[in-house]
Amino acid sequence: MSSPSLSVPAAHLLAAFASSSYVLSLYLSKQGRLSFLRTSTHSPEAKRWKGRDDPDVIRARLIAISISTLLSCIGVGVLLWTLDGRTGQILSNTLTTLGLNAPSPKLLLASLVTPALFLGPLYAQYLSEGLPLQRLWSIKHDVVPVFTTLQGLRNYVVAPISEEVVFRACVIAIYHLSGASRTKMIFWSPLWFGLAHLHHAYDTYNRMGRTTTALQQAILGTLFQLIYTTLFGIHCSYLFLRSSSLYPSILAHVFCNLMGVPQLGAEVRKFPTKKTHIISAYILGIILYVYTMRAWTKVDGGMYWSFIGH
């Protein structure tokens, strides 16, 4: 961009609005809120925690975040139209800005960067015979639940897609219109993504009994999640900017949700005779990540990262 179309303070406000709208949408409907429910008319005192995994909560929240995500995309389109004025190209401009154009085969390597980083955990899963086509892996138990259960749809389909669209594409698009540098976009966007997970502390605190210990666990767990999600957000922001496509970020999000947080200590304890091999796989994964993050994410012609003269 030759000159910014938005001021930086305005970009911060719009990014905050998009992020907070996503989180607040979870609590707009009565069904989506966490609460205590009576489980039996014969026992008025008997109650159960209606947490985030309650079917009614999941259904309500899936609908809410889908609508919120769509509205954020429309908001970016309106913003582009307002600043650019080319009404005939609004849909094309919006899809390009959000990195949602038709995927290119060139994006395949960019999508393999995250698995390269997880070489260590993948090797540990191989030792456990839990990788696809191994003895303990099956379509019935490892694939079907992803698409046929509410938790699977939330964790591996709707949440990764909607979060990447809002916290990566929409927020970065807003900062791009303010003339922010690539470095600032890489680090500003993940902060909103990390802060958006703070509301999980409320669930943890109540689920654990609203005690002092519960409060401590909620704070510690939330701080860890804030750090982890922010670091993950930096990774996905770089992928998005480097490739000018949201698909590698979405696939990275799905992959990380499937893998969970790496558990080096637990894996070494489970396979003590393979300790050196497991640690070596972790180190090799980091080395591969450093190399592939630049070598495999270069996609010419992207709007966010120019390779002319490189």
Q: Burial of 113 by CB count in 10 Å (0-12 exposed, 13-18 middle, 19+ buried)?
A: buried
User: Please, what is the end-to-end C-alpha distance for the chain in angstroms?
Assistant: 19
How far CA 307 is from CA of 62, 73, 276, 300, in Å, comes to 39, 27, 40, 6
Instruction: Tell whether 1 is covered by a domain.
Output: no
Q: Which tops the pLDDT comparison, 25 or 49? A: 25
Does residue 114 lie in a domain region? yes
Q: Which residue has the tokens 């509301």?
A: 199
Task: Establish if 239 belongs to a structural domain.
Answer: yes
Reduced to 3 states (helix: H, G, I; strand: E, B; else coil), residue 50 is strand
Looking at residue 134, its pLDDT comes to: 93
Residue at 143 is within a domain: yes
Residue 310 domain-assigned (yes or no): no
Q: Give residue 174's domain range.
A: 8-295
Whose tokens are 């902060």? That residue is: 191
Would you call 138 helix, strand, or coil by DSSP? Answer: coil
Q: Residue 48's beta-bridge partner residues? A: 37
* Helices assigned H by DSSP within 211-295: 212-243, 247-259, 264-270, 275-295
What pLDDT was estimated at residue 273? 96
Measure the CA–CA gap between 17 and 34, rounded to whole angstroms: 23
261 is a domain residue: yes
User: Using 50, 70 and 90 to split pLDDT, how confident is the model at 8?
Assistant: very high
In whole angstroms, give the CA distance from residue 156 to residue 259.
Answer: 11
The model's pLDDT over 146-175, given as tens digits with 9 standing for 90+, comes to 889 999 999 999 999 999 999 999 999 999
How far is C-alpha 42 from the chain's CA centre?
Answer: 43
Residue at 302 is within a domain: no
Question: Is this prediction's pTM over 0.85?
Answer: yes
pLDDT (tens digit per residue) in 38-55: 444 454 444 556 778 889
The total of structural domains in the chain comes to 1
pLDDT, greater one: 89 or 179: 179
Residue 86 pLDDT greater than 70, yes or no: no
pLDDT tens digits for range 233-292 = 999 999 999 999 999 999 999 999 999 999 999 999 999 999 999 999 999 999 999 999
Give start and end residues of each alpha helix (H) in the chain.
Answer: 8-25, 55-84, 90-97, 107-111, 113-117, 119-127, 139-142, 144-148, 150-153, 159-163, 171-177, 182-195, 200-207, 212-243, 247-259, 264-270, 275-295
CA distance 113 to 111: 6
| CA torsion through residues 37, 43, 45, 48, sign | negative
pLDDT in tens, 189-227: 999 988 888 887 877 777 777 788 888 888 898 888 889
pLDDT at 143 over 70: yes
How far is it, in rounded angstroms, from Cα 44 to Cα 276? 57
In a domain, 308, yes or no: no
Segment 56-70, tens digit of pLDDT: 999 999 999 999 999
